[in-house]
Amino acid sequence: MDLLRGAVVILVVVYHAAHLQLLSSGDRGGWTVVYALMPFRMPTLLVLSGLLLENSLAKGTGRFVMGKVRGILWPWVIWMAITSIVLRGLNEDPIGYIAIGTHLWFLAVLACAYALALVLRSVPNTWSAAALFVLAGLLQASHGIIPLYLWFAGFFFAGAALSPVIVQWQRAQPIWPIVLSVIGLVGAVRQVGQRTVVTYWPDQIVVSLAGVLSLLWVAHRIPRLAPIRALEWVGRNSIVTYVSHFPLLAPGGVVAMMGLAGISPAATSAGVLSVCIGLTYLRPWTEWLYTMPRWRRLRCRRSLSGQSKRDLPVSSVGHRQA
């Protein structure tokens, strides 16, 4: 799972870097691959999150809610503030900007999906996914926020529905993964002609889920060599790369908008990913940027630290005795 999450979050960075090239030169070189991956990139992230739903719910309502506040809402607030300061787009359309105007829409969709899962916990996940996909299809003509959220929440619940059988699927014989891979490839080729337009129809659901299932099967069989383990490390810490990469792209965006230079997506992606990796190494010291601190635990630690110092002899806390 971490391998796929790491690979997809890197593809998200490449996708946004490609936009800078389009802004600076109008060149769509390399966009064929970008278009082909449209049906799979974000659905994969939502399915991977959905696979963890049942384990999260099993912790109990209180821990479930607090876990999502700490791990989703907190970084959304922190990085929405940072992104808004860097990009200065909040004043133009506050609601649209907050909902889908930045890369943080993914965290917003996740938060809504988890909240919905709490309400619908007695409803089979397959039914929830089907209902969300149907609603997204019926409302897609509005081109608004709601159908987009419904569509991706559908993949979240599809992942939750797959959770009980994911181990059996990863051990399955190759015939069905091959069939699904062919379906995914056909859908990818078709998507190149549609560019960034993704229709919320049943055929698109089949293509996306076929591709995601194929990736889950293949990823399970890849030998864990050093580069793969590094990618898994990125996946385990994917929140760092995901939330930080967009503000880091801002300087390149300014240059592109001014038409001062052509920007290579590969160079831009490599530069931003290098910084993101550096930030990931620093995560133990900057965890508050990605997860809400446990304030009570911190206060207890400080209290115990202070008490222990008071209980020690003077010489034990760094003072020399005369």
pLDDT per residue over 19-34, tens digit each?
776 655 555 656 788 8
pLDDT at 311 (0 to 100): 47
Residue 191: its pLDDT value, please?
A: 93
Within a 10 A sphere around the Cβ of 127, how many other Cβ atoms?
Answer: 12
H helix count then E strand count, the chain: 17, 0
Q: Which band of pLDDT confidence, cut at 50, 70 and 90, is reported for residue 314?
A: very low
Output the pLDDT for position 250: 78
Please report the pLDDT score of residue 254 as a whole number: 53
- Band (71; pLDDT cuts 50, 70, 90): very high
Per-residue confidence (pLDDT) for residue 302, from 0 to 100: 52
Distance between terminal CA atoms of the chain? 61
Q: What is the pLDDT of residue 194?
A: 86
Q: What is the pLDDT of residue 322?
A: 31
Q: Torsion over CA of 116, 99, 78 and 297, rounded to 10 degrees?
A: -10
Which amino acid is located at 105 in the chain? W
pLDDT, averaged across the chain: 86
Domain boundaries defined on the chain: 2-291
User: In this model, does residue 91 exceed pLDDT 50?
Assistant: yes
Examine the pLDDT at 257 and tell me if it is beyond 70.
no
Residue 130's pLDDT is what? 97
pLDDT given at position 308 = 45
Provide the whole-model pTM.
Answer: 0.88
Q: With 60 as the cut, is the pLDDT of residue 65 above it?
A: yes
Angle separating helix axes 2-25 and 202-219, nearest 10 degrees: 120
